[in-house]
């Protein structure tokens, strides 16, 4: 069974990063508010973290997409691909 066909596009990586970060930022905001008791501090932490983590996630996705391509070209996963 093939669950993934083709390369992960830049647009798809960005959309996945944004949707995941929305959930993660709500979590960060709630935890920060719980720990500090101050909405302003929680909002500041959540606002900063949404920007940094979207960038990190996008870079992470692109590294993984590139590493699959490099591994395939090196013949490291060729056997797995031929079994499908």
Neighbours of 33 (CB within 10 A): 17
- Quick: pLDDT tens for 9-68: 888 888 887 888 789 999 999 999 999 999 999 999 999 998 888 888 889 888 888 886
pLDDT at residue 41, as a whole number: 97
**In the chain, domain spans:** 10-83
CB 29 within 8 A of CB 45: yes
Task: State the pTM of this model.
Answer: 0.54
pLDDT at residue 1, as a whole number: 42
Q: Which residues, including other chains, have CB under 8 Å from residue 49's CB and lie 6 or more apart? A: 24, 25, 28
pLDDT at residue 83, as a whole number: 57
Query: Angle at the Cα of 57 (from 79 to 30), degrees rounded to 5?
Result: 135
pLDDT at residue 20, as a whole number: 82
């Amino acid at each position: 069974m093939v669950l993934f066909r083709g390369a992960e596009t830049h647009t798809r990586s960005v959309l996945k990063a944004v949707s995941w970060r929305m959930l993660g930022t709500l979590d960060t905001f709630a935890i920060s508010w719980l720990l500090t008791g101050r909405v302003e501090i929680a909002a500041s932490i959540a606002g900063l973290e949404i920007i940094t983590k979207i960038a990190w996630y996008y870079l992470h996705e692109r590294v993984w997409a590139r590493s699959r391509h490099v591994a395939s070209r090196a013949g490291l996963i060729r056997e797995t691909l031929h079994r499908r």
